[in-house]
Amino acid sequence: MKAAEAREMSVADLRDRIKLEKRNLETMKINHAISPLEDTSKFKKLRRQIAIMITVLAEKEHKN
C-alpha cells in the first residue's frame, strides 16, 4: 500500500486496517518460528505498510 492509497481511506478504515495488518504480522512471526518462511522480506514490507498507515492516520487526526 502506498501513502496515496492510505490517504484515500477514512480514519475508521485506517484503524481497522492497521489492527488487521498487525495481527497478520504477528501470525507471520509465529509461523516463521515454527517453519521458516522462504521470503523473509515480507516482514519488512508489512512493517513498512503498517508504518505508512500509522503516519497517515496521525496526519488525519492532527488535521482535524
pLDDT of the residue at 64: 72
pLDDT of the residue at 23: 98
**b (16+ CB within 10 A) / e for 33-62:** eeeeeeeeeeeeebeebbebbbebbeeeee
The single-letter code of the amino acid at 18 is: I
pLDDT of the residue at 1: 78
Tell me the pLDDT of the chain averaged across its residues. 94
Tell whether pTM > 0.75: yes
pLDDT of the residue at 13: 96
Correct CATH for 3-63 of 3.40.50, 1.10.287, 1.10.3470, 1.10.20 = 1.10.287
Q: How far apart are CA 11 and CA 8, in angstroms?
A: 10
Cα 28 → chain centroid: 13
37 or 54: which leads in pLDDT: 54
C-alpha cell at 24: 497478520
